[in-house]
Amino acid sequence: MPRSRGSGRARGGRGGAPAVAGLGEFALIERLAGLVPTAGPGVTLGLGDDAAVLEFRERVLATCDVQAEDVHFRFDVMRPADVGWRALAVNLSDIAAMGGTPRYALVSLLVRPDTAVRVVEGIYRGLAASARASRVIVVGGNVSRSPGGVIVDVTLLGESRRVLGRAGARPGDGLWITGAVGKAAAGLFLASRPDVRVRGGAALRAAYRRPTPRLAAGRALARTGVVTAALDTSDGTAGDLLHLAEASRVGVLLDEARLPIPPGLTAAAAAAGRDPMAWALSGGEDYELLFAARPSFARAASRVARAAGVPITRIGDIVPPEAGRWIVGRGGRPRPLVAAGWDHLAGTR
């Protein structure tokens, strides 16, 4: 995943604002618990016990993801509520990619003692907004001291009757994607450069700060019975396509000219001195659904798009493994498909 690296910390009691150290751990937990949905169907025991007791009706999906300050986000380009929204949304996207319905979340928060209470409450208000929008119940978690910046770690449980995975694509399948590509990379640039204004810029910044998990799309795709493999584009279109190809042991032909480019991306790339195709192919954190489907899906694509509330675009084909993995450029010339997304441990693209 490409990440917003650098400094932009929201520290504590400046200007008289109270810090979390003044509340203490248990008072802070009680305060935060009042901000998020904590009870609902299927929750026998939730917050307050050593573990939650939950009920599921279908196969259980489990995922976890973390948002760390100065690695995944910076407070100079994102409000605390945006951080909370993203912390849950990136996990919701994983459930969407599996064709599932999210149910229960556990949230671990690490903060410095001098972090302002308003910052922590802002994070939880954003998380609560995302939880209510997706009907997720927060059933547990933890608060602890951080040696550095703010860290929000979410574990999300969901369920699905028809589970989508990465490993089922077959030669002859079409390659499709929801929404648009490169929007988060463009949004991060624009959020970092408020002096740059382009048409469509507000939507691009919002796509970076508050991504929309494609939950309805994932469920609609699973119901078709002809989607053979799927995943979300957290690491970039090209990189995630390679993940799908590796898992399915197939070749791919990606048609660059078909990639759905959002309004404003080309202008933002020009302002940044970047190739817009670099953002479209390698910019991560779009959280769209990239999937393979049998040829018959073409007849259902418009119906599924209406049900999902998001455009769906065919961007290529699944081919036999011996055919290789290629991007067909706008001039018709193929070049090897390579990943250039963010590597957490190497810290490079």
pLDDT, tens digit (0-9, with 9 covering 90-100), for 235-266: 999 999 999 999 999 999 999 999 999 999 99
Buried/exposed code over 131-157 (b: 16+ C-beta within 10 A; e: otherwise):
beebebbbbbbebeeeeebbbbbbbbb
Q: How much is the mean pLDDT over the chain?
A: 92
Tell me the HSE value of 3 on the side-chain side, using a 13 A CA sphere.
20
What is the pLDDT, as a whole number, of residue 5?
43
Strands of the sheet containing 101-111, edge to edge, are: 59-68, 151-160, 101-111, 137-145
Structure tokens at 316: 């290529």
Say whether pTM exceeds 0.85: yes
Residues in the chain, how many? 349
* CATH number assigned to the domain with residue range 174-336, chosen from the 4 options 1.10.287.130, 3.60.21.70, 3.30.565.60, 3.90.650.10: 3.90.650.10
pLDDT at 23: 78
Kindly give the parts of the chain with pLDDT less than 50: 1-8, 12-15, 345, 348-349
Which residue type occupies 80?
A: P
Superfamily of domain 14-160: PurM-like, N-terminal domain (3.30.1330.10)
Please state, as a whole number, how many other Cβ atoms lie within 10 Å of the Cβ of residue 124.
25
Residues of the chain with CATH 3.90.650.10: 174-336
What pLDDT shows up at residue 35? Answer: 83
Q: Which is nearest to 289 in space by CA: 240, 224, 342, 340?
A: 240
> What confidence score (pLDDT) does residue 50 get?
85
Give the pLDDT confidence score for residue 132 in this predicted structure: 97
- Which of 203, 207, 212, 3 lies closest to 89 in space, CA to CA? 212
Q: Output the six-digit token pair for 253.
A: 């032909």
Pairing of strands 227-232, 289-293: antiparallel
Q: Phi and psi (nearest 5°) for 127? A: -65, -40
The phi and psi torsions of 258 (rounded to 5 degrees) equal -90, -10
Residue 296's Cβ-count burial label (10 Å; 0-12, 13-18, 19+) is: exposed
Structure tokens at 37: 């949905």
Q: Are 90 and 46 contacting, i.e. CB atoms less than 8 angstroms apart?
A: no
Q: What phi, psi does 52 have (nearest 5°)?
A: -80, 150
Residue intervals of the chain classified under CATH 3.30.1330.10 are 14-160
Task: Locate 202 and state its tokens.
Answer: 């507000």
Does residue 105 contact residue 156 with C-beta atoms inside 8 Å? yes
